[in-house]
Amino acid sequence: MLRIIDARTGEPVDAAPARRGLTRVEAHASGSGASGPRVLLVADILVRALELSGTPVWPLLSGDRQQAQELRAAAAALGVRPFEDGRGAGATLGEAQVVHVAVEGADTATGGVRIAVAPVDAAVPAVPAPGDDPAAWRLVLLSHRRTRPVRLDEAALDDARETLARWRAAVAEWARQPSRPVPDAVRGRLRAAWEDDLDMPAVLRVLEGAGTDPDLADGARFETYAYADRLLGLDLTRDLGRAT
């Protein structure tokens, strides 16, 4: 069960009710500044994690019309899946949980669970330009817990690009071998990491370890990376068929 720290109380709560009712995830982000895109990414990861657990999710984006347009463009640039318009959204039939995602200290609507996202200090554009790999920006932001500030600069992006190139090349090579299921122990470690307050650095560490574990067959490594990428959204299978 995914548990997150409610910024209102500082206590862990279930992100979704046990009865699998609908969870509304509402992203509150500013159209300007570097922290808004991080809020969108955290909301995207939350939605993906809930969907992987079988929870129905209703993702919404709050803000005025002009801000919403800017934020949708930022979301698309980061590979974030679309949010519906959240202006004036109220409770809906069957809704069992509401989770608000916002920059720490932001004044959001009352009620529901609140996820606080630490700010981003950006020395480069907060979202990739057309033609840039959005996964590099995602990986930089996912490499830090959402409660910790992030420095987004060229050095961090270069490190992320190198990691992505290495992982994608390995995944493309592993795909040439007979498929094997994700080992239960590895799947359990991945889920335990992201279900602990969306601890994405821990997810990345488990993934890195799976890539070098001598006891894993290459086919199992491939399936492990493909499975984790359903959450991460890093396009790790992009280079399939290109390995030499």
What CATH number is attached to the domain comprising 210? 1.20.120
Whether residues 129 and 50 share a domain: the answer is: yes
| Amino acid symbol at 139 | L
CB 4 within 8 A of CB 196: no
Beta-ladder partners of 103: 117
Which residue in the block uniquely carries the two structure tokens 């982000």? 29
Percent of the chain residues past pLDDT 70, beyond the cut: 91
Of 157, 190, 217, the last residue of a domain is: 157
Whether residues 163 and 82 share a domain: the answer is: no
Digit-coded pLDDT (tens) for 15-53: 887 666 889 999 998 766 889 999 999 999 999 999 999
Q: Does 242 fall in a domain? A: no
- Is the pLDDT score of 243 beyond 50? no
Whether residues 143 and 23 share a domain: the answer is: yes
Which residue in the block uniquely carries the two structure tokens 């509304």? 24
In this prediction, residue 1 carries a pLDDT of 86
CB 164 within 8 A of CB 225: no
Q: Which domain holds residue 197?
A: 158-232
- Is the pLDDT score of 92 beyond 70? no
CB 240 within 8 A of CB 220: no
- Is the pLDDT score of 93 beyond 90? no
User: 203 is written with which tokens?
Assistant: 């997810």
In this prediction, residue 34 carries a pLDDT of 87
3-state secondary structure of 7: coil
84 — phi, psi (to 5°)? -80, 165
CB 198 within 8 A of CB 231: no
Asked which of 158-167, 217-226, 234-243 is least confident by mean pLDDT, the reply is 234-243
Of 137, 157, 177, the last residue of a domain is: 157
Asked which of 36-50, 79-93, 118-132, 211-225 is least confident by mean pLDDT, the reply is 79-93
If one counts the domains in the chain, the total is 2
pTM over 0.85: yes
Which residue in the block uniquely carries the two structure tokens 């821990």? 202
Whether residues 134 and 87 share a domain: the answer is: yes
120 — phi, psi (to 5°)? -115, 130
Digit-coded pLDDT (tens) for 104-157: 887 766 678 999 999 999 999 999 999 999 999 999 999 999 999 999 999 999
